[in-house]
Amino acid sequence: MLGSLARSRWVKRVSHGVPVARLLLIGEVAIVARRHLGRLDAVQRRRLLALLVRSRGRPSSLTPAERRELLYLLARLEPRLFLGTAVRRLSPVPMPRRVLYGPRGSAARAALKRGD
């Protein structure tokens, strides 16, 4: 598919001076990120954004209850699974699963087996 896309006339016109491979990699990461953000419903996504804005990058500016809520919402996104999936999709070299998803029995491995 990429071969036929690379041969098309409009891609050649647009790609002059634009790193197409980098754009494709960014697109891959965006697709994986969208899947992980889909684990939260709209209310949870809005609340996560509100907590992130309120904290301004410093969790100490949140109340203990807000910190717990922020940690809960971040845990629902499964960041280790997101990172492992993104690296696996982008890396030309196969990476060991223990590096990508942690030791056996970890939450990321369980989510990988579930197919989330």
Q: How confident is the model over 58-76, as a mean pLDDT?
A: 85
Q: What is the pLDDT of residue 106?
A: 74
Q: What is the pLDDT of residue 69?
A: 87
Q: What is the pLDDT of residue 27?
A: 86
**Which tokens belong to 113?**
């087996």
Output the pTM of the full model. Answer: 0.61
Q: What is the pLDDT of residue 1?
A: 47
Secondary structure (DSSP) of 45-110:
HHHHHHHHHHHTT-GGGS-HHHHHHHHHHHHHT-HHHHHHHHHHHH-SSPPPHHHHH-STT-HHHH
Q: What is the pLDDT of residue 14?
A: 57
